[in-house]
A and B are shown apart, each in its own frame.
Chain A
Amino acid sequence: MGVSEPKTLFVAPLSKPDAGSVGKTGTWRHEKPVIDEEKCVKCLLCWLYCPEDTILRREDDMVYVDYDYCKGCGICAQVCPVDAIKMVPER
């Protein structure tokens, strides 16, 4: 398609998908989810319902938290069927 570089100073409202569009949102958190790997049955419900994409899956589908961005909403703890996720106050 006919995309051609602008030749006059060009500042347009264009963005690309990327993490951290408002920064490290982990700082918003009051409580953080802590996963008990012993209890986890790898059902992936926390991964499915996490609104932020901050529950991540290892190769074996054990889950872990991206604390840089996790906002601490607590959905993962709520949907966990085996109580493997606890919300722990941030200090």
Chain B
Amino acid sequence: MPVKTLTGNKAVAYAARLARVKVVSAYPITPQTTIVETLASMIEHGEMDAKMIRVESEHSALAAALGAASAGVRAFTATSSHGLLYMHEVVWWTAGARVPLVMAIVTRAIGPPWNIHVDHQDIWDQRDSGWLISIAESNQEVFDLTVQAFRISEDERVYLPMMVGLDGFILSHTVAPVDMPEQHEIDEWLPERKQPYVITPETQYVMGNLATDEDYYMMRYSIQAAMEAAKDVIKEVDKSFGENFGRSYGGLVERYRVEDAKYHVIVAGSWAGDAKEAVNILRDEGYPVGLLRVRFFRPWPTEDIVDVVGSSKGVITFDRSVSFGARGHLFMETISSLGPLAGKLSVRGVIAGLGGVDVPAEEFAMVIREFIDEVEREGQVYDPAYWHLPSQYRDMYPSRVEEVVR
């Protein structure tokens, strides 16, 4: 298998080609643009057998991909930030149509002010839409997840569209070695496209006209059932991919040094690399800490969370996003999966890295160390929204916003 040095965006484009995508429709937005450029170049130069629709907006990008997919071919698009928000309506429509489809999301902050750097506000904003939502840590995982996404999305137990998240610039524009299987290897592993229905003159299907409220309700129930079923599918696909290509990531979550851990870090995306390094630093210092990297935000890995941190002494989540007026997303999801167990352990929800603010491993280590020391000192800690401010503001403002108001 050839190893190439690729940016995350190139890895996405090559994965889409190897998955034999037939229709690409996309609109440029930083930092997604090089995905579109690469796909356009490959299609124009005859290196990829597909049609490219150079749409006039992201709203149209996903609508065209949905149109193509509902007629029976593998379709692909990619976007970021405002592009994703602009297509949000079609995001929902696509999931509701139950049409398998794959979209790469190069995560980026939302304005104003304009900011092209990474955070997770854009991708988590899609959490309720009925899409499977994954997020990678490395360029290799970006490639692997993109290929896997077609198999997961097209599984008869799932039939839902899937997003593959990769962090803007950190992955999208940074080169790293990516081990790419040959076309025939992918062909052997990835089955022909499957979907629940096609809209053609022969099938006469009509998608999306009115339904009774009761039937509408059941359609939503059915999406939830598919989400539940997807958990097994994701694990199976991850395992099978590992057997064929030598890389498995652990399913919906990756567990890092959790075996004897008493404290747990929960994190998602590329900065998990820095968080892992922090775990290593703290382990060297004697702290019994492990890490859970969320690979799938939807379906949410409830069972994995309960399994790993259910008997934890303390959990610290790192969110690169916030639901204004509430908490960080990973924090809220974690607490809600723990249910009654949540009251037994200490928690801290850290909000950091918004708009691309860098959080190096040493800072992760510092925040985690402080949390563990505090729990050891004070017993139980409940601290749902801890703002780890940019360093130049850290001495000027409190970490709990409530204190600004009072």
Interface residues of A (CB under 8 A from B): 1-17, 21
Contact B205 A6 (CB under 8 A): no
Shortest distance between the CB of A12 and any CB in chain B (Å): 5
Contact B197 A11 (CB under 8 A): no
Q: Are A8 and B157 CB-contacts (below 8 A) given A2-B192, A2-B194, A3-B194?
A: yes
Closest 10 CB pairs of A and B: A11-B222, A1-B72, A15-B206, A7-B156, A4-B194, A8-B229, A11-B218, A2-B193, A8-B157, A2-B194
Q: CB-CB < 8 A to B159: which residues of A?
A: 6, 8, 10
Query: At the interface, is chain A mostly helix, strand, loop or mixed?
Result: loop
Q: Are A10 and B98 CB-contacts (below 8 A) given A16-B206, A17-B206?
A: yes
Contact A13 B156 (CB under 8 A): no
Q: Are A15 and B197 CB-contacts (below 8 A) given A4-B156, A8-B157?
A: no
Q: Given A6-B157, A13-B208, A15-B207, list of 9 further CB < 8 A pairs?
A: A2-B72, A2-B195, A3-B197, A4-B156, A6-B156, A8-B156, A9-B221, A12-B207, A14-B206
Contact B226 A8 (CB under 8 A): yes
Q: Mark B163-203, 1 if CB is under 8 A from A, else 0.
A: 00000000000000000000000000000111111101000
Contact B97 A12 (CB under 8 A): yes
Q: CB-CB < 8 A to A2: which residues of B?
A: 72, 154, 192-195
Q: CB-CB < 8 A to A21: which residues of B?
A: 209
Closest to A5 in B: B156
Shortest distance between the CB of B192 and any CB in chain A (Å): 5
Q: Are A8 and B158 CB-contacts (below 8 A) given A1-B72, A3-B197?
A: yes
Shortest distance between the CB of A55 and any CB in chain B (Å): 24
Interface residues of B (CB under 8 A from A): 72, 96-98, 154, 156-159, 192-198, 200, 204-209, 211, 215, 218-219, 221-222, 225-226, 228-229
Shortest distance between the CB of B75 and any CB in chain A (Å): 13
Q: In this complex, which of A1, A3, A9, A21 has the most chain B Cβ atoms within 10 angstroms of its Cβ?
A: A1
Q: Are A12 and B98 CB-contacts (below 8 A) given A2-B72, A4-B156?
A: yes
Q: In whole angstroms, how far apart are the Cα atoms of A12 and B154 in the complex?
A: 15
Closest to A9 in B: B225
Shortest distance between the CB of B102 and any CB in chain A (Å): 15
Contact B207 A14 (CB under 8 A): yes
Closest to A12 in B: B98
Contact A14 B197 (CB under 8 A): yes
Q: In whole angstroms, how far apart are the Cα atoms of A14 and B195 in the complex?
A: 13
- Taking a contact as CB atoms closer than 8 A, the residue among B72, B193, B205, B228 that contacts A14 in the complex is B205
Contact A11 B215 (CB under 8 A): yes
Q: In whole angstroms, how far apart are the Cα atoms of A18 and B315 in the complex?
A: 56
Contact A12 B196 (CB under 8 A): yes
Q: In whole angstroms, how far apart are the Cα atoms of A9 and B158 in the complex?
A: 10
Q: In whole angstroms, how far apart are the Cα atoms of A14 and B42 in the complex?
A: 36
Contact B207 A3 (CB under 8 A): no
Shortest distance between the CB of A84 and any CB in chain B (Å): 36
Q: CB-CB < 8 A to A8: which residues of B?
A: 156-159, 222, 225-226, 228-229
Q: In this complex, which of B96, B196, B229 has the most chain A Cβ atoms within 10 angstroms of its Cβ?
A: B196
Q: Are A13 and B222 CB-contacts (below 8 A) given A2-B192, A3-B194, A3-B196?
A: no
Q: In whole angstroms, how far apart are the Cα atoms of A7 and B205 in the complex?
A: 20
- Taking a contact as CB atoms closer than 8 A, the residue among B195, B207, B219 that contacts A4 in the complex is B195
Shortest distance between the CB of B214 and any CB in chain A (Å): 11
Q: In whole angstroms, how far apart are the Cα atoms of A10 and B219 in the complex?
A: 8
Q: In whole angstroms, how far apart are the Cα atoms of A3 and B196 in the complex?
A: 5
Q: In whole angstroms, how far apart are the Cα atoms of A1 and B197 in the complex?
A: 9
- Taking a contact as CB atoms closer than 8 A, the residue among A3, A5, A13, A17 that contacts B219 in the complex is A13
Q: In whole angstroms, how far apart are the Cα atoms of A11 and B214 in the complex?
A: 11
Shortest distance between the CB of A17 and any CB in chain B (Å): 6
Contact A13 B97 (CB under 8 A): yes
Closest to B223 in A: A11
Q: CB-CB < 8 A to A9: which residues of B?
A: 221-222, 225
Shortest distance between the CB of B284 and any CB in chain A (Å): 46
Closest to B219 in A: A11
Q: List 5 A-B contacts (CB under 8 A).
A: A1-B198, A3-B194, A13-B219, A15-B206, A21-B209
Contact A13 B158 (CB under 8 A): no
Q: CB-CB < 8 A to B158: which residues of A?
A: 8
Q: CB-CB < 8 A to A12: which residues of B?
A: 97-98, 196-197, 207, 219, 222
Q: In whole angstroms, how far apart are the Cα atoms of A38 and B79 in the complex?
A: 67
Q: CB-CB < 8 A to B97: which residues of A?
A: 12-13
Shortest distance between the CB of B90 and any CB in chain A (Å): 15
Shortest distance between the CB of B348 and any CB in chain A (Å): 37
